[in-house]
A and B are shown apart, each in its own frame.
Chain A
């Protein structure tokens, strides 16, 4: 399968700061990027979908001004959690998808802890 990296893998920050998470598809062109969030012992929940060069589409209940998504190229997408609060602590996972229906892969995830 394709190689997908996320950076950082783990981050601890103070409340009120912003955190940027990078997702790179190293050998794969991601025409679509899905961002998921996973709370402890819960399922992965879709946060937003973005297509390269377009604005992201957010799921109901996800604040677009708080979770900024940039998908400027076919190999890089970023998720910025702005003014993070403890309730934003979670596991964030990117999932790039190519033009073929079968091509959807997952990054290893980023553990965010907001103090």
Chain B
């Protein structure tokens, strides 16, 4: 079956540091890949997505590239801000699952001034 593995947190960074959150997946079909963000007290929000191999999703300075050869979808940002402090979830979905999302465990990010 499908599964998502992402690096454990919490991750603590200073403002303007470089961020990488690793995510790998296993899937039987051809999934779409997502990163969701959950700010304190709020619901999950879609951060970015990629629907096929070699696609790059980007939003708000965050990027992730769909790497089929390494089954990875690592999240990166060149310079984090305090406002990026949140929990980040990697997820996948495909038609076989009725488009339900299969989530990783989430990675908590704390950015300090």
Contact = CB atoms under 8 A, between A and B. Distances in A.
Contacts of A104: 46, 99, 101
Nearest to A48: B100
A108 B42 CA distance: 5
B47 to A, nearest CB: 12
A62 B98 CA distance: 17
A37 to B, nearest CB: 11
B108 to A, nearest CB: 9
Interface in B31-64: 36, 41-46
Interface residues of B, number: 18
Interface residues of A, number: 23
Interface stretch (A12-20, A38-46, A63-71, A81-89): A38-46
A43 B45 contact: no
Query: Majority SS of interface residues in chain A?
Result: strand
A46 B100 contact: yes
B99 to A, nearest CB: 7
B103 interface: yes
Interface string A44-60: 11100100000001000
A43 B101 contact: no
Given A42-B105, A43-B105, A43-B106, A109 B99 contact: no
B43 A97 contact: no
B99 A43 contact: no
B88 interface: no
B100 A106 contact: no
A4 B46 CA distance: 14
Interface of B: 4, 36, 41-46, 89, 98-106
6 contacts: A32-B98, A43-B106, A44-B44, A46-B101, A95-B101, A106-B43
Shortest 10 CB-CB contacts between residues of A and residues of B? A106-B44, A108-B43, A106-B43, A43-B105, A44-B103, A43-B103, A46-B100, A34-B100, A107-B43, A49-B98
Interface of A: 1, 4, 32, 34, 36, 41-46, 49, 57, 93, 95, 97, 101, 104-109
